[in-house]
Chains A and B, each alone.
Chain A
Amino acid sequence: MNLIRYHAPNSAPWPALDRWSNLRDELNSLFDMPYWSGSGRTSQLFTGWSPALDLYESGDHCVAVVELPGMRKEDIDISLHDGTLTISGERKHESNNGETAQRTERYVGTFRRSIALPTRVDANKVNATYQDGILKVTLPKAEEAKPKQIQVR
């Protein structure tokens, strides 16, 4: 009979901690998934299509620039409500008979992006252009939000 208790070489002193390290491995493996290294596809995995949006501010304008490749102008909606700019739309899939998809990475369906504007804008003077798959929305600031020079007399 052996008097020294046998210890498995790799067992952790507390089994609970061992489970934690498994969990950590699981989480780490998530980061190795191809989706995490892709170009903005991470967000698509969870929320559908979420086009990239940039916002610029100058003295008298706010400009939102959104990447929307392959859309039709008519399918883009822009609305302004309570200082929040919302851009939404739908990309439709035109399917033909006899086609077989071999790889589908492009997102088809609806999207909706909202962004709170940093200042008040004049809703009647908003202007939007769509070129090369990029939507540019120019929002002139409301008079009271524009910087004012005060003359010292």
Chain B
Amino acid sequence: MNTLTREPRESDRSQAEQFITPPASVTEIGDGYVLEIEMPGVKKDGLEISVEDNELTIIGRRSLPVVEGTLIHRESRPENFRRVFEIDPSIDAGKIGAKIDQGLVTLSLPKADHVKPRKITVS
């Protein structure tokens, strides 16, 4: 079954705000999927998760630590994070769960009951 992992192309987005695409992993476990996205510097209240027409959007706004002094070497990027996934119809959008721990967003996407394998007991 083809699931979850198809993403809209970068060029489909025409948004004024600039985002960076964080690395993500998708794992299928039993009755659903686990989606992990790296968003360092994002706290719980900076996280915005929405589902609209099969599209799961995860936006992470950073609240970076304030450091006194002059920046003398920089590798990080200042933009916020955004990642969009097209979710498979087999996923029960009403039961998506999310948590964030040390900048790692973990979403659980359970499959809807009607697609789960079912055992029928013979009476």
What residues make up the interface of A, taking CB atoms closer than 8 Å to B? Answer: 37-41, 52-59, 61-63, 65, 67-72, 96, 98-107, 115, 118, 130-134, 136
Contact = CB atoms under 8 A, between A and B. Distances in A.
Contact of B75 (A41, A54, A59, A133): A54
B23 A53 contact: no
B24 A106 contact: yes
Contacts, number: 129
Nearest to B21: A39
A30 B38 CA distance: 26
A103 B24 contact: yes
Interface in B103-120: 103-104
Interface of B: 3-5, 10, 20-30, 33-34, 36, 38-43, 63-65, 67-77, 101-104
A61 B69 contact: yes
Contact of A37 (B10, B22, B25, B68): B10
14 contacts: A37-B10, A39-B77, A53-B73, A63-B69, A65-B64, A65-B67, A65-B76, A69-B39, A69-B40, A96-B29, A105-B25, A133-B102, A134-B64, A136-B67
Given A58-B70, A70-B38, A132-B102, A52 B77 contact: yes
A107 B43 CA distance: 21
B4 to A, nearest CB: 7
Contact of B65 (A39, A98, A102, A134): A134
